[in-house]
């Protein structure tokens, strides 16, 4: 296997090694019990773990980063591809010795895999005590009581209303500068390959007031960037029950942008069928809404897009790309691509490569198709592209994206950008890292009294396909 392929597959966000919660908080009324949590999957899951941490803290249960001292271990899981589920199962096996040493240890499986497998989890994985789907986290204290009494606790009820709007997430991020805000849950799209509608249920939007209040609170606590999260943010829709007034995504963006000009606003994910010119004009109007859109194409072939039930075709997608370039000329676009979907031919594959060039993505997440049980594609189509061909095509896609990213980054050399400092660079304490509006990571020297959370002007001196390097000019 090509080394590129391995590297990229391991960099996929959904399959990143789970990351442990990072807070040591002692609350009044603490029970002395401690929980350890690991999150896998997309940002929605990481964001949900912050809700879970908040619910457990209310019960007086403290967080720990040290798994050995934990009285309960939670794993927040992802089902998007087979590989994502495999890594969770592998991790669960590693928990066995802890349970052996401490029989009263509670092991809880949360998130999408819990929802997909439900009580089956208890049969398959003997050490699991709690199975809780994404809409049942308020029930965790109750499920814990059951587990303490020696029973198994399962709640996989999917709600039409739950948005956890009133729960202040306990921020688990490490930098104190950038944070995620969930604005909606679930998905109504039914892309044929996708398990999300089954694991996260129907789409519902959270009240715009609680979103704005969360952004204001984050700003006051020193945060300088928020990312509004949803599976399809463009279909955000909230009707005020008192006034009947409708807030769409463009309105919401504007409301959050107005919180403070020093608070950057990002969002993810946009759906090509739903992203409106109104959203693009709102982005152009506010300097603090970042010039970056993650607009997953999945395939460049209209025939495959139809089988995928993406409800747009190649022309529609390219029209949206032109609208972005026209209305926000400096905007960077990134994508998700699935290769080797059912019946995909070499010609379809060529169309994916050509749409990547036309859209000139700054970055992409690239996957080969993994059939998910119960999805429309699994029911209707044969997974008939061999693994070998899937890997070959994926390799070619990755090589092309590396070339596009390299080109994109080379074109930035000599330009200056406003960068929000996020913290020290991984490689050196003497360097800062931060992102420009286009979401590109820039590493630069420290200078003066600048701190994480400050904005600086950085001139780009050199670039690789992943990172820009620069110097502070102001």
Please tell me the total number of residues recorded for the chain in this structure. 474
Our CA dihedral for 390, 392, 395, 401, rounded to 10 degrees, sits at -80
Q: What angle do the packed helices 140-148 and 43-58 form, to 10 degrees? A: 70
Nearer to ligand SF4, 268 or 282 (CB): 268
Does the footprint of ligand SF4 cover residue 250 (CB under 6 A)?
no
Does the footprint of ligand SAH cover residue 43 (CB under 6 A)?
no
Residues 294-323 contacting ligand SF4, CB under 6 A: none
Nearer to ligand SF4, 171 or 372 (CB): 372
**Residue 139 corresponds to which tokens in the numbers above?**
């029930």
78 binds, among ligand F3S, ligand SF4, ligand SAH, none (CB under 5 to 8 A by kind): ligand F3S
| CB of 281 closer than 8 Å to CB of 327 | yes
Q: How far is the CB of 180 from ligand SAH (least distance, A)?
A: 15
Residues 402 and 398: their CA atoms lie apart, in Å, by: 6
Q: How far is the CB of 8 from ligand F3S (least distance, A)?
A: 17
Residues 215 and 229: their CA atoms lie apart, in Å, by: 13
- Residue 111, burial from CB neighbour count under 10 angstroms (0-12, 13-18, 19+): buried
Does the footprint of ligand SAH cover residue 200 (CB under 6 A)?
no
Does the footprint of ligand SAH cover residue 324 (CB under 6 A)?
no
* Residues contributing to the site for ligand F3S (CB under 6 A): 14, 41-42, 44-45, 78-80, 111-112, 195-196, 199-200
In angstroms, what CA-CA distances link 57 with 30, 54, 73?
Answer: 8, 5, 14
372 binds, among ligand SAH, ligand SF4, ligand F3S, none (CB under 5 to 8 A by kind): ligand SAH
Nearer to ligand F3S, 42 or 460 (CB): 42
- Residue 176, burial from CB neighbour count under 10 angstroms (0-12, 13-18, 19+): middle
Does the footprint of ligand SF4 cover residue 189 (CB under 6 A)?
yes
Q: How far is the CB of 138 from ligand F3S (least distance, A)?
A: 19
Total of chain residues touching ligand SAH, rule CB under 6 A = 17
Residues 91 and 71: their CA atoms lie apart, in Å, by: 17
Stretch that binds ligand SF4, among 70-78, 190-198, 242-250, 356-364 (CB under 6 A): 190-198
Total of chain residues touching ligand SF4, rule CB under 6 A = 10
197 binds, among ligand SAH, ligand SF4, ligand F3S, none (CB under 5 to 8 A by kind): ligand SF4
Residue at token pair 């209305």: 327
Residues 70 and 67: their CA atoms lie apart, in Å, by: 5
Q: How far is the CB of 43 from ligand F3S (least distance, A)?
A: 8
- Sheet strand arrangement including 292-294: 292-294, 332-339, 363-368
Closest CA to 467 of 443, 444, 436: 443
338 binds, among ligand SAH, ligand F3S, ligand SF4, none (CB under 5 to 8 A by kind): ligand SAH
**Residue 186 corresponds to which tokens in the numbers above?**
């679930």
Q: How far is the CB of 15 from ligand F3S (least distance, A)?
A: 10
How do 72-77 and 106-111 pair as beta strands? Answer: parallel
From residue 144 to residue 183, the character string flagging contacts with ligand SF4 as x (rule: CB under 6 A) and all else as - is: ----------------------------------------
Residues 12 and 22: their CA atoms lie apart, in Å, by: 22
Nearer to ligand SAH, 295 or 420 (CB): 295
How do 455-463 and 468-472 pair as beta strands? Answer: antiparallel
Partner residues linked to 123 by β-bridges: none
Q: Which of 37, 112, 179, 187 binds ligand SF4 (CB under 6 A)?
A: 187
Residues 396 and 400: their CA atoms lie apart, in Å, by: 6
Does the footprint of ligand SAH cover residue 269 (CB under 6 A)?
yes
Stretch that binds ligand SAH, among 103-111, 120-128, 366-374, 406-414 (CB under 6 A): 366-374
Partner residues linked to 233 by β-bridges: none
Residues 51-110 contacting ligand SAH, CB under 6 A: 80-81
Q: How far is the CB of 113 from ligand F3S (least distance, A)?
A: 8
- Binding interface with ligand SF4 (CB under 6 A): 187, 189-191, 194, 196-197, 231-232, 271
- Binding interface with ligand SAH (CB under 6 A): 80-81, 193-194, 196, 231-232, 269, 271, 296, 298, 336, 338, 367, 369-370, 372
């Amino acid at each position: 296997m090509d080394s590129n392929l391995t590297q990229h597959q391991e960099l996929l966000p959904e399959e990143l090694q789970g990351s442990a919660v990072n807070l040591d908080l002692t609350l009044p009324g603490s029970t002395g019990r401690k929980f350890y949590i690991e999150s896998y999957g997309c940002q929605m899951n990481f964001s949900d773990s912050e809700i879970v941490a908040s619910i457990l803290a209310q019960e007086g249960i403290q967080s720990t980063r040290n798994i050995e001292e934990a009285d309960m271990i939670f794993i927040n899981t992802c089902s998007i591809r087979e590989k994502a589920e495999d890594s969770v199962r592998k991790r669960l096996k590693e928990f066995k010795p802890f349970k052996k040493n401490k029989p009263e240890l509670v092991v809880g499986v949360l998130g999408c895999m819990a929802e997909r497998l439900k009580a089956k989890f208890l049969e398959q994985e003997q050490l699991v005590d709690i199975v809780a789907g994404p809409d049942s986290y308020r029930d965790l204290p109750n499920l814990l009581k059951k587990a303490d009494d020696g029973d198994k606790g399962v709640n996989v009820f999917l709600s039409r209303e739950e948005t956890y709007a009133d729960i202040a997430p306990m921020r688990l991020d490490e930098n104190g500068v950038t944070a995620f805000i969930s604005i909606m849950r679930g998905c109504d799209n039914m892309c044929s390959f996708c398990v999300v509608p089954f694991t996260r249920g129907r789409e519902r939007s959270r009240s715009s007031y609680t979103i704005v209040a969360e952004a204001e609170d984050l700003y006051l606590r020193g945060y300088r960037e928020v990312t509004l999260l949803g599976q399809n943010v463009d279909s955000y829709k909230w009707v005020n029950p008192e006034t009947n007034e409708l807030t769409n995504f463009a309105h919401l963006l504007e409301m959050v942008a107005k919180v403070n000009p020093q608070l950057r606003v990002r969002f993810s994910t946009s759906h090509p069928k739903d992203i409106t010119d109104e959203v693009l004009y709102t982005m152009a109007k506010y300097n603090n809404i970042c010039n970056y859109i993650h607009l997953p194409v999945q395939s460049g072939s209209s025939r495959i897009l139809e089988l995928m039930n993406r409800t747009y075709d190649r022309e529609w997608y390219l029209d949206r790309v032109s609208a972005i370039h026209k209305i926000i000329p400096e905007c960077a676009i990134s994508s998700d691509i699935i290769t080797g979907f059912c019946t995909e031919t070499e010609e379809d594959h060529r169309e994916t490569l050509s749409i990547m060039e036309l859209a000139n993505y700054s970055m992409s997440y690239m996957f080969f198709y993994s059939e998910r049980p119960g999805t429309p594609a699994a029911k209707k189509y044969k997974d008939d592209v061999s693994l070998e061909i899937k890997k070959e095509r994926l390799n070619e896609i990755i090589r092309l994206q590396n070339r596009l990213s390299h080109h994109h980054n080379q074109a930035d050399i000599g330009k200056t950008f406003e960068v929000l400092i996020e913290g020290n660079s991984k490689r050196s304490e003497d360097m800062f890292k931060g992102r420009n509006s286009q979401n590109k990571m820039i590493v630069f020297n420290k200078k003066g009294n600048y701190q994480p959370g400050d904005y600086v002007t950085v001139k780009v001196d050199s670039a690789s396909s992943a990172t820009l390097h620069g110097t502070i000019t102001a």
